[in-house]
Amino acid sequence: MSDIRDLISAYADGTATPEERAHVERLAAEQPEVAREILWMQVARQMLAEKCRTEAPEELFSTCMSRVREMDRRQRTERTVTRLAPALCGALCVAIIGAGVFNRSQNGNTLGANQVASLMTGGAAVRERQSVDADRAADAFRALNENMGGAVRLGAVPQLQPWSIERGYLDRHPFTRVLFRDSQGATVQLVAVASSGVAMENCETVDCYRISQMNGLTCVAWTEGETTMLLTGPYDQSTLMALGNELRQVKN
């Protein structure tokens, strides 16, 4: 019967083939129950079509569209991020590397005023100290020049006798300090520090020198390539500048 029912159903729906239609109509003419089944199938279609109409709640449409819009936004964001990801990564890398280089360059070449003051007052850590014989001043200057990587060429000054050379680091900046005694026995300090950017408070500039006061002593500074030279002693600035000239072997 199921085959017949399938045929009847298809007949009622108008999807039966001409042969099937003829078969069903022949059966219906012979068997009242087949005719009645056809009628039922037609009633069922009509009844369902009429009685099973459902109106969806309006808020369902809004909810669906909200989800669609949300998904659309998310997809667009993802697409944008995906498209820009290589560029963003590159930019980030450049920023990180750039910041590192900048930081390194800043740290590598710049010393703050407080650091300089610390250096000139013995605050920086000394790793090596070497006494210098009075008659070996030339050796002290050679050592000083060598310590500065050959960038500094200072000449001996007769009135200053070196008696100690110290080496150390000030915040990763290597420095060399030479202590002299002058003819009066007063101590003069010359420091060479591997930094071309040295800050000094309230400094004035005369010729190639920057002059400042540190802990009651006058300090003159000048640069030799990437090295800054700092000279202090119990003198006024003219005397210190003259000493500086002699060390630099500059004749007035």
Partner 1 sequence: MRFGRASSQQDRYEREFRTIYSALYGTALRMTRDPDRAADLVQEASVRGYEAFDKFDGRNFKAWMLRIMTNLYINQYRKLYRTAGQVSLEDEHVEEAVAPPEEIPDIQIFSDMLEEEVEQALGDVPDTFRQAVILADIEGLSYDEIAVIVDVPVGTVRSRIARGRAHLRQSLERYAIERGYIKKSSIDE
Residues forming the site for partner 1 (CB under 8 A): 1-2, 4-6, 8-10, 13, 15, 32-34, 36-37, 39-41, 43-49, 51-57, 60-61, 63-65, 67-69, 71-72, 76
Long-range contact list for 218-224, CB < 8 A, 24+ apart?
A: 219/120, 220/244, 222/248, 223/196, 224/148, 224/151, 224/152, 224/153, 224/192, 224/248
Residue 142 CA to residue 9 CA, distance in Å, equals: 114
* Contact of 115 with 201, CB cutoff 8 Å: no
Minimum distance from CB of 16 to partner 1 (Å)? 9
Query: Given the structure tokens 């560029």, which residue do they identify?
Result: 87
Select 56 or 87, whichever has its Cβ closest to partner 1: 56
Query: Given the structure tokens 């056809």, which residue do they identify?
Result: 38
Select 67 or 129, whichever has its Cβ closest to partner 1: 67
* Contact of 220 with 240, CB cutoff 8 Å: yes
Minimum distance from CB of 34 to partner 1 (Å)? 7
Select 60 or 87, whichever has its Cβ closest to partner 1: 60
Select 38 or 152, whichever has its Cβ closest to partner 1: 38
Contacts of 45 (CB under 8 A, 6+ apart): 12, 13
Q: What torsion, rounded to 10 degrees, do the Cα atoms 111, 114, 118, 121 define? A: 120
- Among 216, 215, 210, smallest CA distance to 240 is for 210
Select 49 or 125, whichever has its Cβ closest to partner 1: 49
- Among 210, 218, 192, smallest CA distance to 140 is for 192
Select 39 or 101, whichever has its Cβ closest to partner 1: 39
Minimum distance from CB of 91 to partner 1 (Å)? 21
Select 53 or 251, whichever has its Cβ closest to partner 1: 53
Minimum distance from CB of 76 to partner 1 (Å)? 6
Minimum distance from CB of 194 to partner 1 (Å)? 54
Annotate 201-246 with DSSP letters as a single string. TT-EEETTEEEEEETTEEEEEEEETTEEEEEEESS-HHHHHHHHHH
Minimum distance from CB of 79 to partner 1 (Å)? 8
| Token reading at 121 | 């007052």
Minimum distance from CB of 78 to partner 1 (Å)? 12
